[in-house]
Amino acid sequence: MIGIFDSGIGGLSVFKELVRLLPDERYVYFSDSRNCPYGPKAAPFIKERSSQITDFLIGQGAEIIVVACNTATAAAIKHLRENYRMPFVGMEPAIKPAILRSESGVVGVLATAGTLKGALYLNTLATFKGDVKVIERIGEGLVEAVERADFDSPEVEGLLRSYIEPMLDEGADHIVLGCTHYPFLLDTIKKIVDGRAKIVNPAPAVARQADRLYAKKAHHDDTPFCTFYSSAAFTEPVKELARSLTASPCEFYDNTL
């Protein structure tokens, strides 16, 4: 079984890519929606919470865990790898391919505060930045919008425009999505970008890494294809979103952990 967790439902963008590559596996997903967003929270809290969620997912049968959250990866994945004898896949900073492929020498990064302060991101930036100008914006309000399944309202579009248009005005030819929630806003982001820059979504690469590490153990018993747990209550729009990503049976459990 493949375990996945995120501060909320953003990790479903990674789950979607995993299902494409590993359609016959079984999944258990944990959404820590009660504590969402992780971005403004202190690293020790995120580390402790990530350990609690990892213990829970192992208890459900997870043999590999995908930390489908940029902020949790930044704060906790080193700790998790040091303390658990199982594979972990985290969200790699997609700033590297953006920098290497930029022709204008300007790259935009839309992320949470926690991600932009994380060692993974900062080390990658220091290694590859060179003369490239990197414009960073904290996407305040975007995680909360996705959590309520608001992907394209005028308010959300206005928020996105306030973050993305200044990047484009400064010549950014790549926009990096530094939070797993943001791919659910992709249609609105594409509308704003209007072909002026490439949008970098790291989720497919993360799924490919999980595919490489996971010893496939597909089975066809009565186990649900995916069991979704949340530390808060699932709303119907969120359940509909999760179901839309697979045609296989799913179960939902509220107010866990």
CA distance 80 to 21: 25
Active-site residue (options: 36, 69, 226, 250)? 69
Residue 36 is a catalytic residue? no
- Where is 70: in which H helix or E strand? helix 70-83
Residue 69 is a catalytic residue? yes
Yes or no: say if 142 and 36 are a contact pair by the CB < 8 Å rule. Answer: no
Sequence-ordered list of residues with C-beta below 8 angstroms from that of 181, at least 6 positions apart, any chain = 8, 9, 10, 13, 142, 143, 146, 147
**CA distance to 61, 83, 230, per residue, from 58 (Å):** 5, 13, 16
Yes or no: say if 5 and 27 are a contact pair by the CB < 8 Å rule. Answer: no
Query: What single string gives the DSSP state of each residue in 121-137?
Result: HHHHHHHH-TT-EEEEE
3-state secondary structure labels for all residues of 105-123: CEEEEEECHHHHHCHHHHH
Catalytic residue numbers read: 69, 179
